[in-house]
Amino acid sequence: MIKMVIVVRDDIKMGKGKIAAQVAHAAVSLVFEILNSNNSRWKEWLNLWLNEGQPKIVVKIKSLEELLTRFKKAKEMGIPVSIIEDAGKTQLEPGTITCIGIGPAPNNIIDDITGDLKLL
């Protein structure tokens, strides 16, 4: 199975709507990154994910440092990953990193990066 995981910082104050917008931004960013890439494996995973109903899991993380560690690990593993920085128009300062998106990729690969995190 293929899934996408969005990792949201739990150490900054965001309202529910703000969190929803940031999660959506991460999901859309991942899809565009894949569509604009020349990576055939990523495109294959995207097509499988679309056919499997686009499963998305949203988890929380305690700090920016921990979030950046997971981002780096996903990059090193060669899977799609995006980092979301807020524009600063509502609740947060401009440039605040709110979340990362990982995938879509096979469950076992993503679980190596996020499997220990709790649901948001």
pLDDT in tens, 38-79: 999 999 999 999 999 999 999 999 999 999 999 999 999 999
Sign of CA dihedral 37, 18, 64, 97: positive
Asked if residues 24 and 84 have their Cβ atoms less than 8 Å apart, the reply is no
pLDDT at 68: 98
Q: What is the CATH number of domain 2-114?
A: 3.40.1490.10
Q: What pLDDT, in 10s, does the model give residues 98-117?
A: 999 999 999 999 999 999 99
CA distance between the termini of the chain: 21
Q: Where are the domains of the chain?
A: 2-114
Residues 6+ apart with CB under 8 A from 71: 81, 83, 100
Helix H or strand E encompassing 24? helix 16-35
